Structure 1
Amino acid sequence: MARISLDPPRTLLTRLTSWYSKRAYGKVIDPLLALAHNRRVLMTDSRFEMSLARWNRLEPGLKNLAELASAAAIGCSWCMDFGYWASRRHGTPHEKLQDVPRWRESDVYTPLERDVMEYAEAMTATPPTVDDELADRLRGRLGEAAFVELTAMVAVENFRSRINAALGLSSQGFKDTCDVPVRPAG
């Protein structure tokens, strides 16, 4: 249950961001409603998220897995739900997304994907537990620009997940809209 009202004051900004959210995601997302209680926080977060959407040095599938590994480590059910939906829109296979919380035991990931998720978890730990060997391996395979983007995206997901978890935001049913069962032929 949310620890803040998801019925913020109806201002022009709230109406505009709600309209955009419905258009982009099919519904008004709860983090937007929570942040709308503070106009400056909402504006800053919105500008920041629009800027993040233009980052393009890291392959989207790796970015998605890093974000989900961080959200899973923090325990943000809202972020896992929305992240699953966003990742499916980028074409990440269901099997990879479903296994994120138990990636170490799964055989669906490449060695690079495993390193990315290990890095996300190590960055998310308090204090961070990133070691030089893992960082060197990732920097060598991704290149410096993508490695910096990976690092920044994990930090951003920590920010998102910690806010959402602390505010008590939970799943909004995004994942449920992703995997439509295939109908048998005939």
Structure 2
Amino acid sequence: MTARVSLTPPRTLLNRIGSWYSRRMYGQVLDPGLAMGHNRRVLLSYVKLERSVAKWNALEPGLKHLAVMTAAARIKCSWCMDFGRWEAGELGLPLDKISKVPRWRDHPDAFTELECLVMAYAEAMTETEPAVTDELAAALRGPLGEAAFVELTLMISLENFRSRTNSAFGLTSQGFSDTCAVR
């Protein structure tokens, strides 16, 4: 599939700075940034959002990553799955476990009870008509606490935004997972 939006945005100062920063942080320019580079305000707002979200710390990073990967897998965003595998490696998460996320229910021994609840919640939130139940929310609020539960909910919402945007743009794997043990 080819991208539905050009990945060669205007060579503005903002886009040149964004490309430099992306190469420095990730080794290459991220396709979503190139796509958003066609609209300065969108790109600036998105970068500001992502930088703010990166500072959230009420939820344990491993749980946060499982939630994000589960939402991306449910939407079938190959770009997000590819980048998520790479990011898991950067976070020091076990890549064999991360590779099981798309079919986590088939691997019950690979995940803790809390991790399974987090992934079930991510799937329920990602349904076209959200399927979150009071029981599922209560089962997570207990062990996580209110602050981490709120963060979890917003992280899943953000990944839905990312994955649905990237899928609509026609973005596919950019080769990030080629640098880690997950294929």
Equivalent residue for 1:123, pick from 106, 125, 146: 125
Distance (whole Å) between structure 1 residues aligned to residue 85 and residue 140 of structure 2: 24
Number of the residue aligned with 2:87: 86
Contact 1:95 1:108 in 2 (8 A): no
Alpha-carbon deviation of 1:143?
A: 0.5
Number of the residue aligned with 2:15: 14
What amino acid maps onto 1:9 in structure 2?
P
Unaligned runs of 5+ in 2: none
- 1:174 to 2:166 alignment: no
What amino acid maps onto 1:94 in structure 2?
L
Equivalent residue for 2:167, pick from 161, 165, 168: 165
Alpha-carbon deviation of 1:51?
A: 0.4
Alignment of 1:108-119 (within 5 A): 108-119=110-121
Match of 1:48, SS state, is helix
Match of 2:151, SS state, is helix
Alignment of 1:1-40 (within 5 A): 1-40=2-41
Q: Which moved more, 1:88-97 or 1:44-53?
A: 88-97
Distance (whole Å) between structure 1 residues aligned to residue 40 and residue 68 of structure 2: 26
Match of 2:17, SS state, is helix
What amino acid maps onto 2:19 in structure 1?
S
Identity in percent: 63
Alpha-carbon deviation of 1:91?
A: 1.4
Aligned-CA RMSD value: 0.9
Unaligned runs of 5+ in 1: 181-186
Number of the residue aligned with 1:56: 57
What amino acid maps onto 1:32 in structure 2?
G
| Structure 1 runs, 4 residues or longer, greater than 6 Å off | none
Alpha-carbon deviation of 1:178?
A: 1.4
Alignment of 1:129-144 (within 5 A): 129-144=131-146
1:70-127 deviation digits (Å, cap 9, x = unpaired): 0000110000000111112111111211001100011210110000000000000011
Distance (whole Å) between structure 2 residues aligned to residue 16 and residue 136 of structure 1: 44
Distance (whole Å) between structure 2 residues aligned to residue 18 and residue 56 of structure 1: 27
Number of the residue aligned with 2:47: 46
Match of 2:110, SS state, is coil
Alpha-carbon deviation of 1:179?
A: 2.1
Distance (whole Å) between structure 2 residues aligned to residue 117 and residue 89 of structure 1: 21
What amino acid maps onto 1:115 in structure 2?
L
Q: Which moved more, 1:97-106 or 1:84-93?
A: 84-93
Distance (whole Å) between structure 1 residues aligned to residue 152 and residue 88 of structure 2: 16
Number of the residue aligned with 2:152: 150
What amino acid maps onto 1:19 in structure 2?
W
